[in-house]
Amino acid sequence: MRNIVLLGAPGAGKGTQAVLIAKEYNIPHISTGAILRKNIQEGTELGKQAKSYIEAGQLVPDSLVIDIVADRLGQDDAKNGYILDGFPRTIAQAEALDRVTTIDLVLDINVPFEAIIERLSGRLVCKCGETSHVDWVDSDRKCPKCGETLFVRDDDKPETVRARLAVYEKQTAPLIGYYEAKGNLVSVDVDGSDQVEDVFEKVKKVL
Ligand code: ADP
Ligand code: ZN
């Protein structure tokens, strides 16, 4: 099981689990959200094109992300496996992915809707990639990993969160059926009280 796709609603904890999986299995963590945000920060052409979509909670056009991912998967460090986080997000992206690689396993992280809302509404992130929550950190909001100040992502505002969840239901959730039909989907059910480590234990069991 080397080429892995992570599926799950925004806030399901894909990013957090992807970091742990990448470390455990020594494979690169490829996050389209992180790549896009980096491009926005650096003011690249891609970043300029993606910005308005992301801020509105919409998906950026398939054409913008498909080539990036195909390129990234072609790099040397992805030859022995990778964990894809946030891609594919549409059927068209999944079909494009099937043209350039073979996916061994699709892991769906399934979290109840109420827990998703609760998490996204207090999510804090760090430049280093760490994710946290207002309920878990001290009031100074320092990153437990690198010490920088944690911040709220622009697209975690309540209106945008609602838009992202609607987009997930309509455009991304159909991928569950797509991969189920191929026979390489496994689901991990997470409930609101599961800690990061509990989820990772469940994940390791199915990988
Ligand atoms: P989350 O999973 O919490 O929504 P991500 O960091 O994966 O966060 O994505 C943030 C935003 O980046 C998405 O809402 C979307 O606008 C854009 N994005 C990321 N990956 C894709 C993709 N594969 N296709 C289209 N848009 C994407
Ligand atoms: Zn940090």
Q: Tens of pLDDT along 99-142?
A: 999 999 999 999 998 888 888 888 999 999 888 999 889 999 99
Partner residues linked to 105 by β-bridges: 4
CA–centroid distance, residue 163 to ligand 1 (Å): 12
Q: How much is the pLDDT for 157?
A: 84
pLDDT band at 11 (very low <50, low <70, confident <90, very high): confident
Q: How much is the pLDDT for 192?
A: 75
CA–centroid distance, residue 46 to ligand 2 (Å): 25
Q: Of all atoms in ligand 1, which is nearest to the CA of residue 156?
A: 3
Give domain limits for the chain. Answer: 3-112+170-206
Torsional sign, CA 91, 153, 58, 73: negative
Q: Of all atoms in ligand 1, which is nearest to the CA of residue 33?
A: 6
- Reported as a single tens digit per residue, the pLDDT across 24-76 is 999 999 999 999 999 999 999 999 999 999 999 999 999 999 999 999 999 99
- C-alpha–C-alpha distance, residues 103 and 179, integer Å: 10
- C-alpha–C-alpha distance, residues 63 and 113, integer Å: 30
Q: How much is the pLDDT for 91?
A: 98
| DSSP state letters, 93-132 | HHHHHHHH----EEEEEE--HHHHHHHHTTEEE-TTS-EE
Q: How much is the pLDDT for 119?
A: 85
Q: Of all atoms in ligand 1, which is nearest to the CA of residue 14?
A: 2
Instruction: Among 14, 16, 32, 155, name the best residue to mutate to test ligand 1's pocket (greatest count of ligand atoms within 8 A of Cβ).
Output: 32
Asked about 164 being catalytic, the answer comes back as yes
**The domain defined by 3-112+170-206 carries CATH number 2.170.190.11:** no
SS3 31: strand
pLDDT band at 1 (very low <50, low <70, confident <90, very high): low
Q: How much is the pLDDT for 69?
A: 97
Asked about 14 being catalytic, the answer comes back as yes
DSSP 3-state helix, strand, coil percentages of the chain (rounded to 5)? 50, 15, 35
**Average pLDDT estimate for 187-194:** 88
DSSP 155: G
Task: Give the least confident one: 61-65, 89-93, 150-154.
Answer: 150-154
Residue 149 class from Cβ within 10 Å (0-12 exposed, 13-18 middle, 19+ buried)? Answer: exposed
Query: Could you give phi then psi for residue 31, rounded to 5 degrees?
Result: -115, 115
